Amino acid sequence: MNSIIFLIQCSDQKGLVAGITGFFAERDYNILHCQQYTNVQDSAYFMRIKLEDDANLERDVIEQQFTSFAKELGLTWSVRYSDQPYRVALLVTRASHCPYDLLLRELEGELRCEIPLIIGNHNDLASMAKQFDKPFYHLPITKQTKLQQESQIKALLTEYNIDLVVMARYMQILSEQFVTEYAGRVINIHHGFLPAFQGAKPYHQAYDRGVKIIGATSHYATADLDEGPIIEQDVERVMHDNNPEDLVMIGKDIERLVLARAVKAHIEHRIIISGRRTIVFSEGV
């Protein structure tokens, strides 16, 4: 069964649930699920509403009508159709654990998306791409060629009609121009529990501080390094006798899981960005 998912946010006001659900009911749409959240502190309202896509109206018609309705209530919204799977590009460097995990989840149907290409600034993972029958583009980068290399990346993203870019341990800092152009469409995995241990070698930083848990964080990429809205995090307990190499190995499993959860939430249209925060609605609906 195909579905339509609307994500809606606005200032909190009376009658929102009745008004929005009534709009769809009047057009004979079956509401499969509705989740909502009110941020009382900021007087902000958020909704995810899932409808049965039984073609009562053409898609451009329902969007035009909802645009007019949304203007009256001051709604900001987006819509996604389940029969249009996200097209996801992977940016990689040398580490294989995160991209390999995502490719395997796509292959097994756990991630309902299409990964049509892999882009690497090193050639190390070309064999991994070949294993999954994916085209691999080797685009080396230096300080002098950074903007040129990013221009090549953007050309490929356009050519392959990419909806989401995943930095699957892509150990490069994207330019402000790039992340601004693709705002809300670039997900990064940081091998540390943000906001602690930002930047390089977070596991070594954690070891130096003698922490008892380590973690990983998936967030949207912004111009400020490791400061983007956080989507997903997880942790694992460690011991005093774990050395930095142990922490790296333990951390790899956390990174795989955290990144997969974040990508899944995005492609299921469950995330609303609100300033520096994210609203992530429940999985499985």
Residues with a catalytic annotation lie at 226
CA 256-258-263 angle, 5° bins? 95
The count of residues in the chain is 285
Nearest residue to 255 (alpha-carbon basis) of 219, 205, 201, 218: 218
| Residue 202: Cβ within 10 Å count | 24
Is there a contact between 245 and 266 (Cβ–Cβ < 8 Å)?
A: no
Which two structure tokens, joined as six digits, stand for 248?
């790296």
Contact 16, 10 (CB under 8 A): yes
Cβ 89 vs Cβ 115: under 8 Å: yes
Residue type (1 letter), 110: E
Lay out the sheet containing 3-11: strands in order across.
31-39, 44-52, 3-11, 76-81
Vertex 84: Cα angle to 112 and 30 (nearest 5)? 95
Which ranges of 87-165 would DSSP assign to H, the alpha helix? 97-107, 126-131, 146-159
DSSP helix/strand/coil, 155:
helix
140: left (phi over 0), alpha (psi -120 to 50) or beta: beta
H or E segment at 226?
A: none
